[in-house]
Chains A and B, each alone.
Chain A
Amino acid sequence: MSPSAPPLQVWAALVIGALLLLAALAPWIARRTSATALVYGTCMALTAAQTALALYSLLAPQPAAALDLAVGLPMQHTLLGWDRLSAAFAVIINAVTAITSAYALGYGRHEPEPARVLPFYPAFLAGMNLVLLANDAFSFLVGWEFMSLASWALVVSQDRDEGNRHAGLVYLLMAFGGTLSLLMFFGLLAGVAGGYSFAQIRGASLPGLTGATVLLLALAGTGSKAGLFPLHAWLPLAHPAAPSHVSALMSAVMTKVAVYAFVRFAFDLVTPGDHGDWLGGLLIVLGAMTAVYGVLAALLEVDIKRVLAFSTIENIGMIFGALGLALAFQAKHFEAAAALALTAALLHGVNHAFMKSALFMGAGALISATGERSLERYGGLIRCMPRTAAGMLIAAAAIAALPPLNGFVSEWLLFQAVLASPTLPGWLLKLLIPAGGAAFALAAALAAALFVRLFGITFLGRARSPEARNAQETDPASSTALLVAAAACVLLGAIPALAIEPLQLVVRDIVGTRLPDPDAGPWRSLVPLSSSGSSYNGAIILAFLLTSATIAAVVLRLVASGALRRTPAWDCGSPDTNPATQYTATSFAQPLKRVFGSTLFLARERVEMAPPGETRPAIAHVEWRDLSWELGYRPLAGSIMWLATQANALQFLTIRRYLLLVFAALIILLAVVAAWH
């Protein structure tokens, strides 16, 4: 370490070191009863400190130079440091991680085998932070693999469940594929640039085909980690398999690391230039497909954690769609519109991190209170778990993009970016963008239905199982963390400038301009483009809403009859005391399944009626299939299996034939090399 090293980056690296040290020590102390509190408490303190460091680095007038460590690959140095982009992501990631670690202080005590979770949790955090801090390809990949493998270990921490083992296998394979793409991505770039540091890579110029290959590799590597369709297959399996606080981190935070990586690659390291056009169009198509697919699959699902995982896929689609718009705008030099679309993407990332971590924390509380994961076994939980219900109601309304909460602000910005796009030249984009806009509108509306279903079936109505009837409110640490995340959703909805203004530092670095200054509009409203007269002010809408609801309540209190009587439910005169007569999660989604699911998911319903005279009940069967598995992954796995079986023959050759094989391979390789030159 050089003596003139900037202190901030050193501190940030030390935090990562401390997390790794904690991971190494955790197995020794895991058997003690205080281990959970110690590990999660330390993680909370360290990530809170990292949040402060990153925030300071983001707001500093000049980003500090990278820290140069003489370790790593031979002839290569390890470069660690934040610029504004990575500092902004480090703030959000560590802030949400600190909240989730606070939640784990309570939730982690329910863990049956803490020794299988405690060491990997800090390692996972260290990996994510290393990805953000890395300034060269090698340390980036090390961090990326740390993040992947530590989260894999957490996914299979409860490996007695067959489903979890399967999820772990699929996740591991997909993670290897993703890292392989990134490895080739950096390999191609370093081949052109002649070095592995980001500064060297940044200056490289990429001719046509190489540039396209590089960008596609970047998209495959980061998109598979983020859950972009059709590389999403592992996500709805792996995110729910982990303990709930880890699910929260994987869904809310790790996907944002992937978004960071894509922004870093496509907007910073590789200047897309001519590629922005088609890459933007591709991202809009993929984003729209991901968003609609994710929310529809979530509507068909009844396992609460899988519902949330599919909803993550939907939100990732929105983020990548906005990034696609930003790329297209940037390629055509519409800087103001590019700033708008990029802000929409980054803000949605921030919002989703808070909303989804809150929802997963709530799901964890529900699971530990009832021991059930199926929505069909919940019901009426608002009575026994009022604090969890309050937090989840706010987060669900926010992620359903209902104003005045935060999810609406970022979707509003996305729609404003779509509205700014007709001036883009190019026929393809002219057809793709309106269709993408319609798909995002459809996904937003379906998300509202999804979260009415999630909250209504879980917390309202009557208990559908004895476990739900006798549930207990979760511990104070868990519910406080949940409520803090929910409060952030309200705050960022009322005052979006809290997130948007710091993000503008990043946006200005990347596209050269920023959103119009809020001081220009009335009452610091959010203005997407100075040329359009549109504006939105969350604080006014929130105040307006509260005032008018209060006025209505006060007026009614003055003039209406105040009498109130508790009665049995009316239900059109024929109430049934059996809770099974209520609507369930499946029946709530049945109309939507019939409208959308019958073609997209081959959803089928079959009712088996008892013949007349028999008293056995009628049975309704519902089945649906994920076509991306059937048409994509299964044939792929099948062909790999077939190839492996064919190659199996090579294991039983004589030594003479092996030598011949080696010789032939050498000749062919030499011929290829000769032909290349």
Chain B
Amino acid sequence: MALIPSLALQFLQMLLVVAVAPLIIGITRKTRARLLRRTGAPVLQPYRDLARLLRKEALVAETASPLFRVYPYVAFGATWVAAALVPTFATGLLFSWSGDFIAIIALIGTGRATVALAGLDAGTSFGGIGSSREAMIAALAEPAMLMVVFIVALLSGTSQLTGIAAFMASPEVGLRVSLALGLTALVMVAIAENGRIPVDNPATHLELTMVHEAMVLEYAGRHLLMIELAAALKLIAYLAILSCVFLPFGLADAGAGAGAVAVGIAAFLAKLTALAALLAVFETSIAKMRVFRVPEFLGAALMLGLLGTLLLFVSRMSQ
């Protein structure tokens, strides 16, 4: 593949994920509002919120360290790179080989650790509570996610998402118990990692139950914009992982023409919209759980992932 067009495709993907991230948040919120029989804010409201944050001045706490102004960019950068490495509308993009599924998960982890440090930075009690709970959730969600990676990587013989998507689109996959277990675990982890109900409530404030919002309380203006956009990108990254592993149709191949790319983008947007709507349906049908119920929820995800991996290990015996 020629360098220039592939570089252009890579940039297209990076722009695309940032551009649609607020839209997906808007769709989720709108669906949720309609399900609750509210009118809800317009779908484009998140863009307006971000534009308002652009105009506002940034506030920095007097007790904050010099790193306070750096974390938002690092968190955004790490999450953006992770989202850029997931095949969204096309497989085999220019940099896709530089990080596999494990590296993508770990990059999201870099972003998360940065935000957790940001929560501790100003030395406030709310920031600390958020970071501490985020650490607990992540400590269980990350191994569960790695078990999901193990399942799909063992099945497809590679941990590169491009190869996984190609395998999952091929007829060899068939119906497998471990894939069903992996899908369940992945959905549970995605809910926890993105701070959605029942693990965390993205709409909550001033409650002792909040996690993500508590960590970023001290931020305002452009710094908050970066953090909010990073959170939206993380949601996109997880939805893109879900759709590329479990709904791998419509993906443009490496070196495909403009037509295939257009089809890929349309398919990607359709998948994102459908998943965002599904997320809203799920969120309205379940109640927020207590913080100390979360380990049970994620522990179940970890066990499902481990069970799926074990099944794969054992089933190799018969082959």
Contacts and interface: CB of A to CB of B under 8 A. Distances in A.
B260 interface: no
A62 B279 CA distance: 62
Given A402-B106, A541-B103, A583-B120, A559 B54 contact: yes
B65 A569 contact: no
A572 interface: yes
A510 to B, nearest CB: 25
Given A419-B153, A461-B121, A583 B129 contact: yes
Contacts of A438: 143, 146-147, 302, 305-306, 309
B106 A583 contact: no
Interface string A252-263: 000000000000
Interface in B84-134: 84, 95, 97-100, 102-103, 106-107, 109-110, 113, 116-117, 119-129, 131-133
A553 B74 CA distance: 10
Interface in B28-44: none
A4 interface: no
Contact of A591 (B133, B157, B302, B313): B133
B77 A548 contact: yes
A545 B77 contact: yes
Interface in B190-204: none
Contacts of A523: 98
A565 B59 contact: yes
B107 A419 contact: no
A564 B224 CA distance: 13
A442 interface: yes
B310 interface: yes
A532 B310 CA distance: 20
Interface stretch (A236-244, A446-454, A480-488, A495-503): A446-454
B97 A556 contact: no
Contacts of A556: 54, 222, 225-226
A434 B305 CA distance: 10
A568 B124 CA distance: 11
Nearest to A594: B292
Interface string A548-568: 111011001001110111111
B100 A535 contact: yes
A457 B131 CA distance: 11
A540 interface: yes
B120 A461 contact: yes
B222 A402 contact: no
A364 interface: no
A545 B77 CA distance: 6
Interface string B144-167: 001100100110011110110000
Given A452-B117, A566-B60, A553 B73 contact: yes
B11 to A, nearest CB: 10
A63 interface: no
Interface string B279-296: 000000000000110010
Interface in A555-609: 556, 559-561, 563-572, 575-576, 579, 581-583, 587-592, 594-595
A380 to B, nearest CB: 7
A512 interface: no
A408 B310 contact: no
Nearest to A456: B120
B150 A434 contact: yes
A643 B247 CA distance: 68
B76 A552 contact: yes
Interface of B: 14, 54-67, 73-74, 76-78, 80-81, 84, 95, 97-100, 102-103, 106-107, 109-110, 113, 116-117, 119-129, 131-133, 135-136, 138-143, 146-147, 150, 153-154, 157-160, 162-163, 206, 217-218, 221-222, 225-226, 291-292, 295, 302, 305-306, 309-310, 312-314, 316-317
6 contacts: A382-B66, A401-B106, A445-B138, A536-B100, A556-B54, A588-B132
